[in-house]
Chains A and B, each alone.
Chain A
Amino acid sequence: MIPHMNLALLVPALPLLGFLITGLGYKRFRNNQAGIIASSAVGLSFLISLSSLFVLRNSGQDSATLTLFNWISVGKMNIPFAFLIDHLSLTMMLIITGVGTLIHIYSIGYMHADNRVNSFFAQMNLFTFSMLLLVMGANYLILFIGWEGVGLCSYLLIGFWFENPAFNYAARKAFVMNRIGDLGFILGIILLFFTFNSVSFSEVFAQASSFQVGAPVITLITMLLLVGAVGKSAQIPLFTWLPDAMAGPTPVSALIHAATMVTAGIYMIARSSVLYILAPTTLTLITIIGLATALLGAIIGLKQNDIKKVLAYSTVSQLGYMFIALGVGAFSTAVFHVTTHAFFKALLFLGAGSIIHAMGGEQDIRKMGGLRTKMPVTYWTFLAATLAISGIPPFSGFFSKDLILSKAFEHNFILYILALGGALLTSFYMFRLLYLVFFGEQRLAGSHPHESPKVMTIPLIILAILSVFGGFLNVPTLFGGDSNFGVFLQKAMTSFSGEELSHTTEISLILISSLLIGLVILFAYRTFVTKVLVPKADGEPMSFFGKFITNKFYIDEFYATIFEKPFRFLSGFLYQKIETTILNPAIEGIGVATLKLGELVRKIQRGNMSFYFFAMVAGILLFIIFILTI
Chain B
Amino acid sequence: MSALIFTIVLGIILLYLGFVKNKAILAPVAIAGLMITLFLLFKDWGLGSKYFHDMIVFDNFSIAFNISMVIITILIFFFGIDYYEALEFHVAEHYALMIFALTGAFLMTSFSNLIMLFLGIEILSIPLYVLAGGKKYSYRSNEASFKYFMLGSFATTIFLFGVALVYGASATFYLPEIKIFISQFNGHLPPMMLVGLLFILIGVAFKVAVAPFHFWSPDVYEGAPTLVTAFMSTVVKTAGFAAFFRLLNMGLLPLPVPLEKALWVMTGLTLLIGNLAALKQTNFKRLLAYSSIAHSGFIMLAMLSQHNTSASVILYYTFVYSLATVPIFIIFILMKRAADGSEELSIFRGLYKQKPWIAVFLTILLMSMAGIPPTSGFMAKYQVFVLSISQGYLGISIVAILMAVIGIYYYFFVMREVFTEREQSYPIQVSKINAALIVVCGVAVVMLGIFVWNLPI
Contact = CB atoms under 8 A, between A and B. Distances in A.
Interface in A603-630: 605, 607, 609, 612-613, 615-616, 619-620, 623-624, 626-628, 630
A594 interface: yes
B359 interface: no
The listed residue with most B CB atoms (<10 A of its CB), out of A595, A600, A605, A626, is A605
Contacts of B306: none
A607 B194 CA distance: 32
Contact of B212 (A598, A609, A615, A627): A615
B187 to A, nearest CB: 12
Contact of A627 (B262, B272, B273): B262
B194 A612 contact: no
A4 interface: no
Interface string B196-216: 001100100010000011011
Given A615-B212, A627-B262, A602 B150 contact: no
Contact of A602 (B147, B155, B219, B277): B277
A619 B212 contact: yes
A623 B262 contact: yes
B262 A616 contact: no
Contacts of A605: 215, 218-219, 277
Interface residues of A, number: 23
A627 B194 contact: yes
A506 B213 CA distance: 92
Given A612-B151, A623-B202, A630-B258, A602 B191 contact: no
Contacts of B13: none
Interface string A585-602: 000000000110111111
Nearest to A624: B195
A612 B218 CA distance: 12
Nearest to B405: A594
Interface in B251-308: 257-259, 261-262, 265, 272-273, 276-281
A627 B277 contact: no
A620 B154 CA distance: 12
Contact of B213 (A609, A616, A626): A616
Contact of A628 (B151, B194, B281): B194
B281 A602 contact: yes
A599 B258 CA distance: 32
Interface string B92-117: 00000000000000000000000000
Contacts of A602: 276-277, 280-281
A435 B150 CA distance: 99
B261 A609 contact: no
B215 A615 contact: yes
B212 A630 contact: no
B338 interface: no
A626 B261 CA distance: 9
Interface in B161-212: 191, 194-195, 198-199, 202, 206, 212
Nearest to B218: A605
Nearest to A597: B276
Contact of B150 (A600, A609, A615, A623): A609
A612 B216 contact: yes
Contact of A609 (B151, B280, B406): B151
B216 to A, nearest CB: 7
A605 B202 CA distance: 20
Interface string A179-216: 00000000000000000000000000000000000000
17 contacts: A594-B279, A595-B279, A598-B278, A601-B273, A602-B277, A607-B219, A609-B151, A612-B151, A612-B215, A616-B155, A616-B212, A616-B213, A619-B212, A620-B158, A623-B262, A623-B265, A626-B265
> Closest 9 CB pairs between A and B?
A598-B279, A627-B258, A619-B212, A612-B215, A598-B276, A601-B277, A601-B276, A598-B280, A630-B258
